[in-house]
Amino acid sequence: DRQDDFLMWLAKAARDSGGSMESILTSILVVNFAAIHTSSMTVTSTLFQIASQPEYIAILREDILDAIKAEGWTKGSVNSMWKLDSFIKETQRWQGFGIGTLPSQVLKTVTFSDGTIVPTGMHIHAAQAATYRDSTIYEDADTFRPFRFSEKRGQTDQSTRHQFVSTSPEHLIFGHGKHACPGRFFAAIVIKIFLSHLLRYDVKMGGDGSLPENVMIGTSTILSSKAKVLFKRRQ
């Protein structure tokens, strides 16, 4: 039987569309780039937030240790780290990867009810940054509240809706609908394990201890390359 995996999807797509081996290799490189830089940026941006706000470190450590004590290092224990999950999601809400997401090209001219016309061939994005800072969607949208999502998960019967990996029109980091990232579950586990191990050390920002400013290149957010995070082995 043929494997039902990413490589087979690429091979089938190339065969059906008359693509070449080069097109398959290009697709692999594109996916590798997308997976690596987004995960590494998420880890780094979350680490910056933690290191610049050390008052949250003890809370995160307790969340991690409680999960591990309950069942060791398992998928279930990592998924039960609600506060760490919330901290990561809030970090992404706070800065994201750029101004827009879900880039698309219009295939047919559309006229909206207010008269706005989107012509064929135009490239459009979902307004990710504007959504994340919209006070009608997020309470205290201009305030970094690291546990806003874990609090919601504990107060409602829709706990899965507020997970880091859950997609919605209000949370577009992983896309949405049929365009949602299929690798987000694996990525979330890797990110949480990585941060859990980093928190075995005491961490703080170098310099004046403040959160480093991002750099915008076009519509994309780039983390500071000059920021320094200091690590100290715990006694």
Sequence ranges of the binding site for heme: 181
Strands 220-222 and 215-217: antiparallel
- Tally of residues, the chain: 235
164 and 38 Cβ atoms separated by less than 8 Å: no
Could you give the CA distance from residue 93 to residue 168 in angstroms, rounded to a whole number?
13
User: Cβ contacts of residue 22 below 8 Å, gap of 6+?
Assistant: none
204 and 56 Cβ atoms separated by less than 8 Å: no
Strands 201-205 and 215-217: unpaired
Please enumerate, by residue number, every residue annotated as part of a binding site.
Answer: 181
Could you give the CA distance from residue 149 to residue 162 in angstroms, rounded to a whole number?
6
User: For the purposes of burial, counting CB atoms within 10 Å of the CB of 152, is it exposed (0-12), middle (13-18) or buried (19 or more)?
Assistant: middle
